[in-house]
Chain A
């Protein structure tokens, strides 16, 4: 059986290794990474103080040689070997199939004083990509730079732990392009109410000890400056090895690079001209590549992913592309409810959802996310779905059927949860441990909690309609 070597320490590498064994790969399996793999979406929970850093570490992989503290320095494609350095020692690892899951590297903007002479970040300045970065955020007053999801999530997490937090973004509101004007403005309002000082249309130009200077001359105290200014695919190894690279490492629909023995996936890979990044994409690719490498599938067909903002202050979710709203032939439905801070914008073609931006409508997020992902028609009473039970009786959709998919990220269906419940997993945490539901984007958390409650109240020992 041929040996598979995986380079990377993120969720993509971890999920791939796990699924390879699940699909019956019996040959040697080695993972080389700098840090122990951890669940990156939960880093902001560490920042918020809700989880200790060790808690976001991914579980150990069975039957896999995992070599942490290992920095891969080069690929010798002719000899099918990877060179690495572990501690002070040079090591060589041979492969039959090599998988690059090198992820992305934070983009550090040009801010005077943010980096030292050696190019490393100065004291009190950090990006947020690894578990060790969390510990670099210290002090009473933190300035977060960046209007993307990570900036918002980090600022929310800091505000939640009581830190004096300022979020600075170039657009008037964070996530401006993705959410659109109305929704992004709602997000700003919500974050302000959560205690975050919002400074839109600004940027940081200079870092001095304990302070930052903005482009409009404002000078703010900042014990730590957190740079959430995006990430770029880490293509260094691939480029040095002569593989085809554009924005990311170019792969085909079998997730193969320009060298048929080398695959790439996750944040470092570029498929169909796009390197979208994100854990959902990485997981889907890992699942697909495991199936391809074990002969259970031949190609990877990406399914649409749901974007969900991880902040406890607002339910924000998007599917599709913002440009889909302006394509001819689309029907749009837009709901704005300032009083209850709700917003929804949908683009539909016939009965199918093309794109959506949803704020403060968690029920709709779940139902529409599933409809979009599986190309199902949306419920005919869209208004009822968007307004939810307080305003109108909610329609009972087909989504609540017995076989319903509950956790999109981990592909957990309702029967799996029922089985886990019957086996004694009687809390959300226990169900999460048994099935992995809720451990992805967290979007199904409320649903799992509700199922848990329902079953608790139903006749014991267990819900019998589940088989």
Chain B
């Protein structure tokens, strides 16, 4: 199995390390060519405004096509913003694919960034999570399943082949969230659909 990590900017190294630790080959994705024959794609944390500008053009078109044609994707923090169908204060999605609305920097400025543990459906009841100037999900579409909440706010969700999280599992040594994404790819392949 080969999983790409969008590498325009951000926590690329951490995601690759986590993927390799769970036994998956990872590949840096900077261009359309890098997207060929992947089984999944991670969109890391970073600055969503920077990534959106850097992706503009053929890469963004290709990412939109792959998102709508069903490549399994996992977006953390900025990656979640890229995958949301609606971003507050912005016209249209960046890539889109999951029927949610997100508010950028909803958890506040850096002094409000925090660590906690979350209970995540199907992952564990004590998963460490790092929230950095985190976006929150402010609207959930009908087909979207909430996997974790913090303070009543949805912070991890899945719809079909798209998984998103407000926080950074890649900044901890706990590999359960990455295992869950790889499990999701395997489960989707088991259904015999193109991956």
Tell me whether A and B are bound partners.
no
